[in-house]
């Protein structure tokens, strides 16, 4: 399984927070902090925009590190991704992502299929 696929199926390789981190792009950090602050109605500072990936050792945004219920559940259950969980299709936590993002759902299903030798 691609290590940049998050527990929820999102692709961390394309996440602007990761791109800002790996390129040390402070202007992109400012842009993301402003967008995410407005979107989530909380103050997010550019200093918080440091993340190398959900399942990668290294920096995480405060949300990804300790507030994301999906990541916390996957860690607790010892799953590589939510696609490993038999409850994925009915899970309220991951449904927030996969109901709006077909690519994330496909990533989770692909990860499940490759583990079980399906195609």
How do residues 14-54 score in pLDDT, each as one tens digit? 999 999 999 999 999 999 999 999 999 999 999 999 999 99
Q: Give residue 1's pLDDT.
A: 79
Please report which residue ranges of 1-119 form alpha helices under DSSP H: 16-22, 26-40, 62, 69-77, 92-98, 102-115
Name residue, tokens 């991951």: 94
- Which pLDDT band, with edges at 50, 70 and 90, does 114 fall under? low
The model's pTM: 0.86
How do residues 59-113 score in pLDDT, each as one tens digit? 999 999 999 999 999 999 999 999 999 999 999 999 999 999 999 999 999 876 4
Q: Report angle CA 118, 94, 21 to the nearest 5 degrees.
A: 95
- Which pLDDT band, with edges at 50, 70 and 90, does 118 fall under? very low
Q: Is 108 within 8 Å of 83 (Cβ atoms)?
A: yes
3-state secondary structure of 43: coil
Name residue, tokens 């927070």: 17
**What are the extents of the domains in the chain?**
12-112
């Amino acid at each position: 399984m691609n290590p940049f696929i998050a527990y929820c199926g999102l692709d961390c390789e394309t996440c602007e927070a990761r791109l800002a981190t790996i390129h040390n792009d402070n202007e992109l950090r400012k842009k993301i902090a402003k967008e995410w602050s407005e979107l989530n109605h909380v103050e997010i500072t550019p200093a918080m925009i440091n993340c190398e990936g959900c399942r990668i050792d290294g920096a995480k945004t405060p949300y990804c590190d300790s507030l994301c219920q999906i990541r916390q559940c996957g860690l607790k259950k010892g799953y590589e991704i939510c696609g490993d969980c038999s409850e994925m299709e009915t899970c309220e936590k991951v449904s927030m992502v996969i109901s709006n993002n077909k690519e994330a759902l496909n990533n989770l299903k692909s990860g499940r299929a490759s583990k079980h030798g399906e195609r």
